[in-house]
Amino acid sequence: MTAYIGLLCLLHLLITLVLSIDITYHVKEEGRPHTYIGDIAVDSNLSHPLTHQQHTLITFTQLQRTVESGSHLFNVTNSGKLYTTQTLDAESLCTYNKECSRIVKVAVRKGKTFMKILKIKILIEDVNDHSPKFPKNEIEIQFSERDRKGDKIPILNAIDEDISIKNSQITYMIKENKREPFSLSVTKRDGIFIPELILGDKLDREVKDSYMLTLEAKDGGSPPKTATLKVHISVTDFNDNIPVFSQKLYNISVSNSHQRHLPILTLKATDQDSGDNGKISYHFNHKTSRNIQKYFVLDKKTGDLFLHDNFQFTKKQSYKLFIEAQDGGNPPLKTVARVHIYVINNRNTAPLINIDFVSPLSESSAAVPEDSEVDSFIAYVMVTDTDSGPNGEVICDLKHDKFKLAKIDSKEYKMIVKGHLDREIRDHYKVSIVCHDMGSPQLESKKYFSVKVTDVNDVEPHFTKETFQFLTYENQKVDFPIGFINATDPDLGDGGQLTYSIINDNNNDNIPFQLTKIWIYFYITTNRSRNERHL
């Protein structure tokens, strides 16, 4: 057992390394919005061995908050705390018996310097929030009085929509048997556990022609959830053959040149029973994700499988469907076949450019301080091209004297400062990013945006003259203006607001002049009468 656990840990480590995951967290579904998941700042170990003051300079910014990636389900604070944004439902987000996870990308900066992109994997743990359900509350089955001891009849199986094996694994038992001639067994067919009633003794229809049993289904959750099915048994002939597909696994390929009115596959199942017991209809099994079902159309009578009108060849490379064949017996019997569909996309579509600004002003503009250092991180750029082969290989470029692109991954870039910025010289730039694929012909996309250079107090005030010279006469009244002074500062806001003061170089407290503000201007005025002199 210890060796087995060690092997699982090793496999998990290898998978983590392949995916380049930096941190993995676990969160249970159905929690309240804003549920705390973890502290990226602590768990990434980026703050060690920094001082507290240095630690506060590290900031975290969540990138690519899109529905397609699933990262909109989570929120990362500036200090690195990770929370949910809404109640998580594993059943709607993931598929049966598959790891349920989402990847969140986080840009880490120290001050204004870009450090790295962290890839955070969040495993969404299934909770036992669904009870088993039978398709019906009651069914009727038939045993023949000619049946022998040990003969079996399959009955309806329950379905549990939980996506984990433990919470959806169902066990069955008969409640309050009252010594009736039936027992229960469970048989696995095509991955489905089918309960079967076993005849324990010969039946005599003339003595008793009907029985009533209660079948209980219990899932493997903690605590477990249950469902019951009333089984009415008539002593007569019954549907004793299940449908059989021509093959249990169908592997098919479909290209974008396929005509929508033609089926991509025709499933075929047979049933040796006659009448309604041998009539077969075809349906999507519950293991087929509802999100996948919407891309396909299944003809219940013929078994023809079509592409839906909303099917897009750029969405996904492969699909897995579970199709069941069901006969018309009472109760109906069914069997399941797996269908693997591989998508061949020969189209060449243009790349899609997505930009996440560190300091956005709008969807197409960002703010950058004029004191930003060279190589300061401005935006995260991700390019999407779902084409295959060279059609999906992308190259991006940004030609500008103040900004440039630096490659992070094959389709990921960071936009950084290339040259010194000075708002007083220029406060606004128009920028464009151009990306093209390697197809033939090459397809190109452009993304235009603007960068606003914000002001910092980096310019000293300057007097409009090097020397101001004024003449006044003795015995002037107090507050008599003798001259106007003026200085300029191109900075904005408080950095451009000027105040004036007189500096006494001779340490003489008897200077007969003072500064007086009249409206928005500053004047040198007298503060007492004085003999005639020059300033």
Averages of pLDDT over each 10 residues, the chain, 535 residues: 43 47 92 94 77 73 80 91 93 86 93 90 91 92 87 91 87 84 89 90 84 92 92 79 93 86 94 86 94 94 93 79 93 93 81 93 91 92 84 91 93 93 88 91 92 76 75 74 74 64 67 72 69 44
Residues 6+ apart with CB under 8 A from 524: 470, 481, 482, 483, 485, 502, 513, 514, 515, 516, 535
Stated as kind and residue range, the H or E segment containing 292 is helix 290-293
Residues 6+ apart with CB under 8 A from 437: 348, 350, 351, 385, 387, 390, 391, 392, 393, 394, 395, 443
Q: What is the pLDDT of residue 111?
A: 85
Question: Is 0.85 topped by the overall pTM?
Answer: no
Q: What is the pLDDT of residue 335?
A: 95
Q: What is the pLDDT of residue 18?
A: 44
C-alpha span between 350 and 383 (Å, rounded): 10
Return phi, psi of residue 394, to 5°.
-125, 140
Question: What are the counts of helices (DSSP H) followed by strands (DSSP E) for the chain?
Answer: 6, 37
Q: What is the pLDDT of residue 53?
A: 61
C-alpha span between 452 and 458 (Å, rounded): 17
Identify the residue whose tokens are 């007492």.
528
What does DSSP assign to residue 13? H
Residues facing 244 on adjacent strands: 270
Q: What is the pLDDT of residue 472?
A: 76
Q: What is the pLDDT of residue 7?
A: 44
Q: What is the pLDDT of residue 532?
A: 44
Rounded alpha-carbon distances, angstroms, from residue 113 to 59, 60, 358, 376:
10, 12, 12, 5
Residues 74/148, Cβ–Cβ less than 8 Å: no
